[in-house]
Amino acid sequence: MQNATEAKAQAIQKMFSEIAPRYDLLNRILSAGVDRVWRVAAVKAALEKNPGRILDLATGTGDIALLLKKVAPQAEVIGGDFAPPMLELARQKAQKAGLSIPFVEADALKLPFPDQHFDAVTIAFGFRNFADYPRALAELYRVITPGGRLCILEFPPPPKSGLGVLYRFYFTRILPLIGGLISGSASAYRYLPESVERFPDPSTLANMMSKAGFSTRYQLFTGGITALHTGDKPVLTSPSLITRSGEFHSGKQP
């Protein structure tokens, strides 16, 4: 029998697989193109320490992974997601762009990578969909090298004043209509505002990351509509304790 966490994960996986063909178009339309500005900020934060190996988790159709590889071609970039249709689109985009990026199936609650494998991990608008936040953070902490960085770009609950009032109206009333018409899945775009309202506020997420072991800070964009959380994993004092495995395992290769 499935537990609640597994049931939630499978429902979300099915939903994102269904909307994959229209996912990029909808992102551009529904954010008026502003999502690209937010993604650039996340990539800049992720590359600040010149990481050699980077995981873009919940990569979707690969927007962040492709941007990481374009900006830092010397870095090894891997994209992971649990929705195969999204991964297939990501592979097509990478091939068209002439970029070598492995895209693999990956469950955030049980990542198919060894300990201390990545110097940086990025997650853009995907963390909110994880079925168990503390468990996901523990997994992320496990696969990041000492001194490595986690960057989470996400929609927090909209502010209750200023731009947040207008955005909440748009998010709850307009977005489901447009998203449903274009994608053919109104339920997916009803889920989006509902999941945002249930998501922890920025300070709560920062505390969760700190409890997982990260040194955390965050910044808000566009009047608090989005938040970028940056968490650094502490550096071990004894070099003999620092190990890094060179291989990862996955049920599906690019």
Amino acid making up residue 139: E
| 8 Å CB contact between 64 and 39 | yes
Give the Cα separation of 172 and 230 in Å (integer): 28
Residue 216 annotated as binding site: no
Give the Cα separation of 120 and 183 in Å (integer): 32
pLDDT of residue 26: 65
Segment 30-54 mean pLDDT: 91
Q: What is the pLDDT of residues 191-250, one digit of tens each?
A: 778 888 999 999 999 999 999 999 999 999 998 989 999 999 999 755 444 444 444 443
**Is a pLDDT exceeding 50 seen at residue 254?**
no
Fold of the 4-158+200-234 domain: Rossmann fold (3.40.50)
pLDDT of residue 241: 44
Q: What is the pLDDT of residues 74-88, one digit of tens each?
A: 999 999 999 999 999
pLDDT of residue 128: 92
Give the Cα separation of 168 and 27 in Å (integer): 17
pLDDT of residue 249: 40
| 8 Å CB contact between 228 and 64 | no
Decide: pTM greater than 0.75: yes
Burial class (CB in 10 A: 0-12, 13-18, 19+), 3: exposed
Residue 81 annotated as binding site: yes
Q: What is the pLDDT of residues 15-35, one digit of tens each?
A: 776 776 667 766 666 566 788
pLDDT of residue 161: 81
Amino acid making up residue 3: N
pLDDT of residue 28: 67
Segment 120-126 mean pLDDT: 96
Which of 203, 190, 201 shows the shortest CA–CA distance to 160? Answer: 201
Place of tokens 């201390």: 116
DSSP output for 89-118: HHHHHHHHHT----EEE-BTTB-SS-TT-E
Structure tokens that stand for 109 in this block: 């609650």
Structure tokens that stand for 186 in this block: 């109104």
pLDDT of residue 195: 86
pLDDT of residue 136: 98
pLDDT of residue 2: 55
What ranges in the chain are assigned the alpha helix state H?
Answer: 4-19, 23-31, 34-46, 63-71, 84-97, 133-143, 163-169, 175-183, 186-198, 202-211
Compute CA distances 57 → 5, 96, 192, whole Å: 19, 21, 19
pLDDT of residue 11: 75
Q: What is the pLDDT of residues 129-170, one digit of tens each?
A: 999 999 999 999 999 999 999 999 999 998 888 787 888 888
How many C-alpha atoms does 47 have within 13 Å on its Cβ side? 19
